């Protein structure tokens, strides 16, 4: 497994590869070209920033049968796809700011794909060749707006509503990993990625029939059951497999 991310040291932002307790600084974004510079810094000295800068943030819904049941929905027969605003991305340790505190606003933990090669009309069999790696994502959702507007773009695209990170992982198998959300230390979601209705390969192939997926684009692949409301003061930890947890606090937007 190789580990990549975005980092900040003072006023400087850069992408790098994490090796042991060091960050090896890269010349370019890792999904474009892994070209190391001769600069190395300690991981303990840098701030973990957003590990991605996608042109598109794609989300998939209703991809776990138990979540379909808890939402009182029925399977569609194809992946349910929509877009989230890239401006909704939030780094590790950033604060989720609830846009409407009086609304029910839920967490959803999701395996997230980072595209590495352009993908258009790719087959299921070749789809994973277009993957750079994977990370942990949260799809924060305003249920009040979702119910009244009957579509997902606005209710899931407020600033800070897509926490991502802390890093991106390559050379990993994601077919049967544990996926978990802890809220204030208590387990709220717990499942395995093997329970997904549509696999990563099927999702990429499906999406590529409608649009060109570009390097750096990300796809959130759906959440299992156990979704629930967040409130100011909460601490969330999203965990997939043995990867470092994605940690975020919660507050109210000002």
What is the chain's mean pLDDT, rounded?
96
Mean pLDDT for 205-227 is 97
26-33: average pLDDT: 96
Please give the pLDDT value at position 76: 81
Non-local (6+) Cβ contacts of 150 within 8 A are none
HSE (side-chain half, CA atoms, 13 Å) at 173 = 3
**Closest alpha carbon to 211 in 118, 123, 130:** 118
* Cα atoms in the Cβ-side hemisphere of radius 13 Å centred on 119: 32
Query: Residue 72: is its pLDDT beyond 90?
Result: no
Query: With 90 as the cut, is the pLDDT of residue 75 above it?
Result: no
Q: How far apart are CA 182 and CA 62, in angstroms?
A: 21
190 is written with which tokens?
């717990």
Give the pLDDT confidence score for residue 73 in this predicted structure: 83
Rounded to two decimals, the pTM is: 0.96
- pLDDT at residue number 39: 97
Mean predicted confidence (pLDDT) in 210-225:
97
Q: How far is CA 22 from the centre of its chain?
A: 24
Predicted confidence at residue 113, as pLDDT, reads: 98
> Per-residue confidence at 211, pLDDT binned at 50, 70, 90?
very high
- C-alpha span between 75 and 94 (Å, rounded): 34
pLDDT at 21 over 90: yes
Residue 82 has pLDDT above 90, yes or no: yes
Question: Does the pLDDT of residue 238 top 90, yes or no?
Answer: yes
């Amino acid at each position: 497994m190789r580990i990549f991310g975005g980092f900040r040291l003072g006023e400087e932002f850069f992408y790098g590869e994490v090796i042991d307790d060091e960050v090896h600084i890269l010349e370019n974004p890792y999904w474009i070209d892994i070209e190391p510079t001769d600069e190395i810094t300690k991981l303990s000295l840098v701030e973990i920033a957003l590990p991605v800068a996608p042109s598109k943030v794609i989300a998939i819904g209703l991809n776990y049968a138990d979540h379909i049941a808890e939402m009182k929905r029925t399977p569609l027969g194809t992946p349910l796809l929509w877009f989230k605003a890239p401006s909704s991305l939030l780094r590790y340790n950033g604060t989720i700011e609830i846009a409407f505190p009086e609304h029910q606003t839920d967490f959803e933990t999701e395996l997230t794909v980072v595209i590495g090669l352009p993908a258009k009309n790719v087959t299921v069999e070749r789809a994973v060749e277009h993957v750079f790696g994977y990370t942990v994502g949260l799809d924060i959702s305003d249920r009040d707006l979702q119910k009244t507007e009957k579509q997902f773009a606005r209710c899931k695209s407020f600033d800070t509503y897509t926490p991502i990170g802390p890093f991106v992982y390559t050379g990993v198998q994601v077919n049967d990993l544990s996926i978990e959300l802890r809220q204030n230390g208590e387990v709220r979601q717990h499942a395995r990625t093997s329970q997904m209705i549509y696999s990563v390969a099927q999702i990429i192939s499906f999406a590529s029939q409608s649009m060109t997926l570009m390097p750096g684009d990300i796809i959130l692949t759906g959440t299992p059951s156990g979704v629930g409301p967040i409130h100011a003061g909460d601490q969330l930890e999203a965990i997939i497999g043995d990867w470092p947890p994605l940690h975020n606090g919660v507050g109210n937007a000002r």
